[in-house]
Amino acid sequence: MATPKKRTGKASQATRRANWKGSVPATTTCPNCKEIIPTHTVCPKCGYYKNGFASIKKQQAAVEENKNQEVKEVKEEKETKKTTRKPRAKKAETIQEEKVEAKEEKTVETVEETKE
């Protein structure tokens, strides 16, 4: 592999890179919604292309968004159903506490009977 014999100076680098220029992309207006868009592209806002032809991709994207919203709604419903289990768990805890209290009362009664 070839290696340079000397380092390239800053001035040489700058003159070489001076010809790299950015250009402004060509734009047009959408015939449907009057939005400024790049030429030869589908309008990202309304999905139309050139002479008013609707883009299939934009329509498919709208259908997919509707499906995603329905899926989110179903998930939210499932999550709300899961929250109903918590009160049941609390009921079970209160039942256990009542059993413990009942046992304590029995032991207190037996202790009192033995003292008499």
Q: Please give the tally of structural domains in the chain.
A: 2
Give this prediction's pTM.
0.34
- Asked whether residue 110 is domain-assigned, the answer is yes
User: Residue 95 sits in which domain range?
Assistant: 85-116
- Asked whether residue 59 is domain-assigned, the answer is yes
Shared domain for 114 and 77, answered yes or no, is no
pLDDT for 41 = 86
- Asked whether residue 1 is domain-assigned, the answer is no
pLDDT for 68 = 79
Which residue in 16, 19, 12, 43 sits closest to 29, CA to CA?
A: 43
- Asked whether residue 47 is domain-assigned, the answer is yes
- Asked whether residue 9 is domain-assigned, the answer is no
Residue by residue, pLDDT tens for the chain (116 residues) are: 789 899 999 999 999 999 888 889 999 998 888 899 999 888 888 888 776 566 666 666 767 777 778 888 877 777 776 655 555 555 666 777 777 777 777 777 776 666 65
Shared domain for 74 and 89, answered yes or no, is no
- Asked whether residue 34 is domain-assigned, the answer is yes
Alpha-carbon distance values, 84 to 15, 76, 88, 97 (Å): 72, 13, 8, 21
